[in-house]
Amino acid sequence: METAPRSVRIGGPDQALTCGFLLVGADGLAEDLFLLREGLVRLLTAHGFEIAAAVDNGPELLDALVEHRPDVALVDVRLPPTFTDEGLRAAIEARRRIPGLPVLVLSQYVEQLYARELLADGTGGVGYLLKDRVFDSGRFVDAVRRVAAGGSAMDPEVVAKLLRGNARDEPLTRLTPREYEVLGLVAEGRSNAAIAGRLGVSEKVVTKHTSSVFTKLGLAPSDDDNRRVLAVLAYLNS
């Protein structure tokens, strides 16, 4: 059986990826399963990404991230040698060495502790998607690009767990049911336009709700979607 290439250079240098499955252009990818890793390489290169490296264990992932400094790292939580948390630990250490390094985690489970660690510094693009809930290649590629641009892409289940972990927080109890729903959608990385489309209301109504949410949570308002999402995630992670 052929093995995946250790390093692939395809496309422009402005679209590199490094992952705990593989490294694409300025992005990086790390995954221990050959078929999944190879499938991700093919999907991402088909959408114009350049794969800088593809690795299958935690130590090699950290080395690759530090060496290539990708636009975004795609990382599996559980990698060899122990299949516990090597992938995320490598990504967190890489972010310590390279502040703001964008990281998109692909996991089979909602690992709340890992999600909190990833969000702890509140800088750089972050994402946490569940493998068995990624059904649309276009949306997945959009999520990769969004994280690379400094935004977020959080699975609703991950956001729900973060919200439940803060359910007794007094400011959150002051939110109306609609404001609570909007807060969750903001945490997922959705823009006001996307939230409006999801709820079937106008952007003006969404803006009113988000303004109220930020006021009640004591967060500084921002017109920048990325800064707004990071502020909400940092709050939920506090």
Dihedral of the CA atoms 80, 71, 115, 63 (nearest 10)? 30
Name 138's bridge partners.
none
Confidence of residue 167 (pLDDT cuts 50, 70, 90): low
Confidence of residue 24 (pLDDT cuts 50, 70, 90): very low
pLDDT, one tens digit per residue, over 55-108 is 878 888 889 888 888 888 888 877 777 777 788 888 888 888 998 888 998 887
Confidence of residue 169 (pLDDT cuts 50, 70, 90): low
Give the pLDDT confidence score for residue 10 in this predicted structure: 27
What is the distance between the alpha carbons of residues 160 and 65, in angstroms, rounded to a whole number? Answer: 30
Residue 126 or 24, more confident: 126
Is the pLDDT confidence value at 187 over 60? yes
Residue 66 burial class via C-beta count within 10 angstroms: exposed 0-12, middle 13-18, buried 19 and up:
middle
Whether the pTM exceeds 0.75: the reply is no
Confidence of residue 178 (pLDDT cuts 50, 70, 90): very high
Give the pLDDT confidence score for residue 92 in this predicted structure: 86
Is the pLDDT confidence value at 37 over 90? no
* Residue 25 φ then ψ, to 5°: 45, -120
| Mean pLDDT score across all residues of the chain | 76
- Comparing 21-25, 113-117, 120-124, 180-184, the range with the smallest average pLDDT is 21-25
Confidence of residue 5 (pLDDT cuts 50, 70, 90): very low
Is the pLDDT confidence value at 30 over 60? no
Give the pLDDT confidence score for residue 202 in this predicted structure: 95
pLDDT, one tens digit per residue, over 140-165 is 888 888 888 888 888 888 787 777 76
If we measure between CA atoms, which residue out of 109, 105, 79 comes closest to residue 92? Answer: 105
Spatial contact of 144 and 118, defined as CB atoms under 8 Å apart: no
For range 24-36, the mean pLDDT: 49
Confidence of residue 27 (pLDDT cuts 50, 70, 90): very low
